[in-house]
Amino acid sequence: MSTLAASNKRSFWSVVWDYITTVDHKKIGVLYLIAGGFFFLLGGLEALAIRWQLVKPMNDFVSAGFYNELITMHGTTMIFLAAMPLIFAFMNAVIPLQIGARDVAFPFLNSLGLWLFVFGGIMLNVGWFTGGAADAGWTAYTPLSTISPGEGMDYYVIGLQISGAGTLMAGINFLVTIINMRAPGMTYMRLPLFTWTSFVASALILFAFPALTVGLFLMMFDRMFDSAFFDPAMGGNSIIWQHLFWIFGHPEVYILILPIFGVFSEVVSTFSRKRLFGYSAMVFATVLIAFLGFMVWAHHMFTVGMGAAANAIFAVATMTIAVPTGIKIFNWLFTMWRGSIQITTPMLYALGFIPTFTIGGMTGVMLAAATADYQYHDSYFVIAHFHYVIIGGTVFGLLAATHYWWPRMFNRMLDERLGKITFWIFFVGFHLTFMIQHFLGLWGMPRRYWVYLPDQGLDLGNAISTAGAFLMAIAVLILLYNIIKTAIKGEPCGDDPWDGRTLEWAVPIPAPHYNFKQVPLVRGLDPLWVEKMDGRKEMTPSEPLDDIHMPNNTVLPFVMTIGFFIAGFGFIYQKYDNALNALIFVGMGIALGAMLVRSLKDDLGYHIPKKELEKEARK
């Protein structure tokens, strides 16, 4: 906890103020990690409650209504508030360092994106305390979601709209950062794969999220202002929501997995001490997956009744995605081939990922076969499939990234022994939970079932699944213990603890807030490795030492977010009392006012003088 520890001397509130106003990508990364981690634990608790309800037939641990809130919030929380923000945490912490930049392209937007996500997440969860959270499933199919009583779904709509806006900003920010802020010599075909995959994922965010934005607007209008988009009685059509949702939703799964492919590419390459096998094929496969990802959304809708032609086309289109994904799997295997494999905790996750994700990919192809999908669809088979790719892919990857980049972010190594124990318990628990669910689905258990009848051949499978879920919970607790232990007792790890290859390991640990005193010159793929092989320990600078320009801290993003947050309550409650419209005006007034200040007030940042940098160097 370098940044936190160093600031211990300052008062608590000055640290809080510093983090609220910060535009430093490294601190924003830490905030994403904390907030995303919190929501991950929250979503995990919801998952445990779901599994406990299903431990035996006709259980009455929770009521039907509460169960529906649990499943809805579990899905929504894990996708929007845990997985994506945790990915953003590492994108923020690592990408500017990997490309040799001093900050992101839009530090202000970076902060705004973070706060929008945080307050959108809070908004989503406010429903718990006001008579019920969202309860129409994370996919919120209309008209169930538009007729759902209470404010739960309103919080879903507004919360996702706010956090979605934040995500869109983060996406644009990273696109521009990676294009414009690369160090000299860092050509596109020398970008580390994590940067490449994050770049492509950012493009997916840019083109996928607006579809969700529109869908949410339409749902908001239907729920709050009595429009008729999804109301069949008024000529509306509920299927439009499904299209909009999945035009966003399918690219979303690649947003979740592509950066993780990048993480594993870095980890496998580092701990095999070998450059990535087929780098250009990997880049090509990433772009191809992203491109195809936009053409296949309707495979979530095979049973909607689109007709044989549409089903057949989308089935075949979906299958083609298996090809570039397969290329990636083989490239990782052949990166290890003739390498020198060191099994560290991050590498262990990578090794666990390969078979697990292969199974997830296999069931993916099986699901793509439309006629087979008539059986799988909306059953536990689908639950099993997407947990195999999202946990077996994204969560394994995030855990690998956590262990791999923890020293980079906090100047401490997480305990390796505890890390490996965590992995094994999590790995076994995961397969125990979800392998059996493939069969539960085929034995006739549809998803989102609050109870199942006795004597349907589903009892044992569900009990096994629940046991596995609790094993995963134990693993997460051990990880938490590891983090706390490291924060209290851990020793500073020093520079480059993993014998790294990419540029982020060339920056001293802890990193100065301007990252690079002199922007380095990149001479090849894996730039630090290139220098190491030439017998140097440091990067060659690409410029003489000079003043460094940095952006100012600002509280405006936080204020803007508070404005939207207040307006959100106005939108939700105006149907009860017109006076509450005032909240909309106050909130939007604050937000637009902050925008105006941002637009009209000059903010040129500041310079760190050359002399000061020289002084630091002498220390």
List the interface residues with another protein, window 20-49 (CB under 8 A): none
Among 34, 45, 49, 240, binds another protein (CB under 8 A): 240
Q: Which CB, 38 or 448, lies closer to another protein? A: 448
- Type of residue numbered 86: L
How many C-beta neighbours within 10 Å does residue 438 have? 22
Least Å from the CB of residue 485 to another protein: 21
Q: Which of 14, 63, 187, 552 binds another protein (CB under 8 A)?
A: 63
Q: Which of 617, 611, 610, 407 is nearest to 512 (CA)?
A: 617
Q: How far is the CB of 92 from another protein (least distance, A)?
A: 17
Contact positions with another protein (CB under 8 A) in 273-312: 273-275, 277-281, 303-305, 307-308, 311-312
User: 166 and 119 in contact (C-beta within 8 Å)?
Assistant: no
Residue 250 is a binding residue for another protein (CB under 8 A)? no
**Could you tell me the two tokens for 289?**
């997956």
> How deeply is 614 buried, as exposed, middle or buried, from its count of CB atoms within 10 A (0-12, 13-18, 19+)?
exposed
435 neighbors 383 (Cβ within 8 angstroms): no
Among residues 62, 287, 322, 586, the one that binds another protein under rule CB under 8 A: 322
Total residues at interface with another protein (CB under 8 A)? 141
| Distance (Å, whole) CA 403 – CA 350 | 12
460 binds another protein (CB under 8 A): yes
Considering only residues 258-277, where is the footprint of another protein by CB under 8 A? 272-275, 277
By CB under 8 A, residue 534 contacts another protein: no
- CB-nearer residue toward another protein: 187 or 371: 371
Which residues 92-111 are close enough to bind another protein by CB under 8 A?
Answer: 105-106
Q: Which is nearer to another protein, 263 or 458 (CB)?
A: 458
* 213 contacts another protein (rule: CB under 8 A): yes
Asked if 615 interacts with another protein (CB under 8 A), we say no
555 makes contact with another protein (CB under 8 A) = no
Q: Is 327 in the site for another protein (CB under 8 A)?
A: yes
4 contacts: CB under 8 Å, gap ≥ 6: 15, 30, 410
Q: Looking at beta carbons only, is 14 or 342 nearer to another protein?
A: 342
Q: Choose one: 33-41, 111-119, 239-247, 552-560; the region binding another protein (CB under 8 A).
A: 239-247
Task: Tell which residue, 68, 47, 67, has the closest CA to residue 59.
Answer: 67
Q: Which of 511, 513, 508, 493 is nearest to 538 (CA)?
A: 508
Nearest approach, Cβ of 329 to another protein (angstroms)? 6
H helix or E strand, kind and range, residue 549 = strand 548-550
348 phi and psi angles, rounded to 5 deg: -60, -45
Query: How many beta carbons lie within 10 A of that of residue 61, not counting itself?
Result: 14
Side-chain-side CA neighbours of residue 159 (13 Å): 24
User: How near is the Cβ of 38 to another protein at its closest, in Å?
Assistant: 27
Please, what is the minimum distance in Å from the beta carbon of residue 177 to another protein? 8
Coil, strand or helix: which one is 369? coil
B/e letters for 348-378, b = 16+ CB within 10 Å, e = fewer, are: bbbbbbbebbebbbebbeebbbbeebeebbe
Asked if 543 interacts with another protein (CB under 8 A), we say no
Q: What residues numbered 502-531 form the site for another protein, per CB under 8 A?
A: none
* Alpha carbons 48 and 469: distance in angstroms, whole number: 7
When asked if residue 607 is in the footprint of another protein (CB under 8 A), the reply is yes
Q: Point out which span in 19-27, 61-69, 384-392, 565-573 binds another protein (CB under 8 A).
A: 61-69
Is 452 a binder of another protein (CB under 8 A)?
Answer: yes
Piece of the chain touching another protein by CB under 8 A; list 24-32, 82-90, 347-355, 402-410? 347-355
CA torsion angle 470 475 476 482 (round to 10): 150
- Give the CA diameter of the chain: 79
Nearer to another protein, 9 or 305 (CB): 305
Least distance CB 128 / another protein (angstroms): 18
358-397 binders of another protein (CB under 8 A)? 358-359, 362-363, 365-366, 368-375, 377-379
DSSP class per residue in 181-235: -PPTT--GGGS-HHHHHHHHHHHHHHHHHHHHHHHHHHHHHHHHH---TT-GGGT
Tokens of 306: 């689109």
> What is the closest distance, in whole angstroms, from the C-beta atom of residue 55 to another protein in the complex?
15
Amino acid at 313: I
The b/e string for 245-275 (b: 16+ C-beta within 10 A; e otherwise) is: bbbbbbbbbbbbbbbbbbbbbbbbbbbbebe
Q: d(Cα 546, Cα 618) in Å, to the nearest integer?
A: 16
11 contacts another protein (rule: CB under 8 A):
no
Q: Which of the residues 578 through 597 are near another protein (CB under 8 A)?
A: 596
Q: Which amino acid is at 418?
A: L
How far is residue 49's CA from residue 133's CA, in Å, rounded to a whole number?
Answer: 15
CB of 474 to another protein, least distance (A): 15
DSSP 3-state of 608: strand
Give the residue with the Cβ less far from another protein, 14 or 371: 371
Q: Which of 61, 217, 470, 514 binds another protein (CB under 8 A)?
A: 217
Q: Which stretch binds another protein (CB under 8 A): 13-21, 450-458, 537-545, 611-619?
A: 450-458
| Cα dihedral 118, 121, 122, 123 in deg (nearest 10) | 120
Among the listed residues 55, 435, 487, 521, the single contact to another protein using CB under 8 A: 435
Alpha carbon distance 122, 109 (integer Å):
20
Q: Which of 454, 492, 494, 609 lies at the binding interface for another protein (CB under 8 A)?
A: 454
Query: Per CB under 8 A, does 247 bind another protein?
Result: yes
**Of 488, 579, 600, 617, which one interacts with another protein (CB under 8 A)?**
600
- Range 129-188, binding another protein (CB under 8 A): 136-137, 141, 143-144, 147, 168, 172-173, 175-176, 179-181
Task: Rule CB under 8 A: choose which of 231, 463, 467, 541 binds another protein.
Answer: 231
Query: CB burial class (10 A; 0-12, 13-18, 19+) of residue 507?
Result: buried
Tell me whether residue 409 or residue 584 sits nearer to another protein (CB atom): 584
Which is nearer to another protein, 326 or 508 (by Cβ)?
326
Task: Between 351 and 473, name the residue whose CB sits nearer to another protein.
Answer: 351
3-class DSSP state of 329: helix
Q: Which is nearer to another protein, 365 or 562 (CB)?
A: 365
